[in-house]
Structure 1
Amino acid sequence: MAVTRVPPRISLRLCIESSLKPGAGKERLGAVLRSRRVILPRRGHMRLGWSVLFALGLLLGLTGTVAGHEIPPSVMVLAFVKPEGQRLRMLLRVPLESMRDVDFPLRGPGYLDIPRAEPLMREAAHVWLAGYLSLYEGDSRLSDGRIVATHVSLPADRSFVSYDSAFAHVTSARLDARTEIFWKQALLDVLIEYPIVSAASRFSIDPALARLGVRTTTVLRFLPPNASERAFEYIGDPGLVRLDPRWHQAALRFVSLGVEHILNGIDHLLFVFCLVIPFRRLRPLVAIVTSFTVAHCLTLIASALGYAPSGLWFPPLIEVLIAISIVYMALENIVGPRLERRWAIAFGFGLVHGFGFSFALRESLQFAGSHLVTSLLAFNVGVEIGQIFVLLLAIPALMLLFRYVVAERMGTIILSALVAHTAWHWMTDRAGALRQYHFSWPAFDAVLAANVMRAMMFLLIAVGLGWVLSAGVRRLAGAGAVSEDWGRGASRT
Structure 2
Amino acid sequence: MKRALLLVLLILLVPVAGAQAHFTTQGYQEIVQDGQTVDYVLGLEEEALYTLADGRDKRAISAYLLPRVRVSSDGEACAGALKGWTPQRRSGEAYLRLVLQYQCASESGPFSVRYAVPNENLARFELGGQEGTFLFDPDNMVLRADDPPGFAHFIEKGVEHIVLGWDHVVFLIVLLLGARGFKDVFKLSAAFTVAHSVTLALALLGVVEIPGEIVEPLIAASIVYVAAAQVLGYQSDKQLWIVFGFGLLHGLGFAGAVTFPGGTPIVSALIGFNIGIELGQALIIGVVFPLLLWTRRYEWSKLANATAGSAAAAIGLFWLSQRVLGG
TM-score, with normalisation over the residues of structure 2? Answer: 0.63
- Cα distance in 1 for partners of 2:124, 2:142 equals 13
- Kept in 2, the 8 Å contact 1:134–1:206? The answer is yes
- Cα distance in 2 for partners of 1:218, 1:296 equals 23
Question: Computing the radius of gyration over CA atoms, which structure comes out larger, 1 or 2?
Answer: 1
- Cα distance in 2 for partners of 1:258, 1:204 equals 24
- Cα distance in 2 for partners of 1:192, 1:318 equals 44
- Kept in 2, the 8 Å contact 1:151–1:189? The answer is yes
Aligned partner of 1:90 in structure 2 is 38
- Cα distance in 1 for partners of 2:67, 2:261 equals 23
Deviation per CA, 1:459-486, whole angstroms, max 9, x where unpaired? xxxxxxxxxxxxxxxxxxxxxxxxxxxx
Residues 369-408 of structure 1 aligned to structure 2 (within 5 Å): 370-403=264-297, 406=298
- Kept in 2, the 8 Å contact 1:267–1:323? The answer is no
- Kept in 2, the 8 Å contact 1:217–1:236? The answer is no
Deviation per CA, 1:400-457, whole angstroms, max 9, x where unpaired? 4345xx15xx62x3343123312332455566678879xxxxxxxxxxxxxxxxxxxx
- Cα distance in 1 for partners of 2:264, 2:70 equals 25
Aligned partner of 2:217 in structure 1 is 316
Aligned match of 2:127 in 182, 206, 223?
Answer: 223
Aligned partner of 1:133 in structure 2 is 70
Greater relative CO (CA pairs within 8 A, separation 6+)? 2
- Cα distance in 2 for partners of 1:131, 1:321 equals 40
- Kept in 2, the 8 Å contact 1:250–1:368? The answer is no
For residue 128 of structure 2, give the secondary structure of its aligned residue in structure 1: coil
The one-letter amino acid of 1:129's match is: L
Larger helix proportion, structure 1 or 2?
Answer: 1
- Kept in 1, the 8 Å contact 2:120–2:138? The answer is yes
Residues 335-350 of structure 1 aligned to structure 2 (within 5 Å): 345-350=239-244
- What residue ranges of structure 2 are gaps of 5+ in the alignment? 1-25, 44-48, 88-95
The one-letter amino acid of 1:192's match is: Q
Q: C-alpha displacement at 1:372, in angstroms?
A: 3.5
- Kept in 2, the 8 Å contact 1:258–1:379? The answer is yes
- Cα distance in 1 for partners of 2:73, 2:139 equals 16
Cα gap change, 1:422/1:346 in structure 2, threshold over 3 Å: closer, same or farther? farther
RMSD value over aligned CA atoms?
4.8
Aligned partner of 1:253 in structure 2 is 153
Aligned partner of 1:271 in structure 2 is 171
Q: C-alpha displacement at 1:394, in angstroms?
A: 1.8
Aligned partner of 1:10 in structure 2 is none
TM-score, with normalisation over the residues of structure 1? Answer: 0.45
- Kept in 1, the 8 Å contact 2:122–2:133? The answer is no
- Kept in 2, the 8 Å contact 1:152–1:186? The answer is no
- Cα distance in 1 for partners of 2:214, 2:106 equals 49
- Kept in 1, the 8 Å contact 2:28–2:122? The answer is yes
- Cα distance in 2 for partners of 1:395, 1:258 equals 21
Cα gap change, 1:345/1:93 in structure 2, threshold over 3 Å: closer, same or farther? closer
For residue 114 of structure 2, give the secondary structure of its aligned residue in structure 1: strand
- Kept in 2, the 8 Å contact 1:295–1:348? The answer is no
Aligned partner of 1:243 in structure 2 is 145
For residue 141 of structure 2, give the secondary structure of its aligned residue in structure 1: coil
For residue 262 of structure 1, give the secondary structure of its aligned residue in structure 2: helix
The one-letter amino acid of 1:374's match is: S
Aligned partner of 2:17 in structure 1 is none
- Cα distance in 2 for partners of 1:285, 1:78 equals 44
- Kept in 1, the 8 Å contact 2:191–2:247? The answer is no
Aligned partner of 2:196 in structure 1 is 296
Residues 311-460 of structure 1 aligned to structure 2 (within 5 Å): 312-313=213-214, 315-329=216-230, 331-332=232-233, 345-359=239-253, 361-362=255-256, 364-367=258-261, 370-403=264-297, 406=298, 411=301, 413-426=302-315, 428-429=317-318
- What residue ranges of structure 1 are gaps of 5+ in the alignment? 1-73, 105-111, 113-119, 157-184, 438-493
- Cα distance in 1 for partners of 2:212, 2:69 equals 39
For residue 259 of structure 2, give the secondary structure of its aligned residue in structure 1: helix
- Cα distance in 2 for partners of 1:186, 1:386 equals 37
Q: C-alpha displacement at 1:324, in angstroms?
A: 0.5
Q: C-alpha displacement at 1:259, in angstroms?
A: 1.7
Cα gap change, 1:347/1:268 in structure 2, threshold over 3 Å: closer, same or farther? farther
The one-letter amino acid of 1:241's match is: L
The one-letter amino acid of 2:217's match is: P
Cα gap change, 1:267/1:360 in structure 2, threshold over 3 Å: closer, same or farther? same
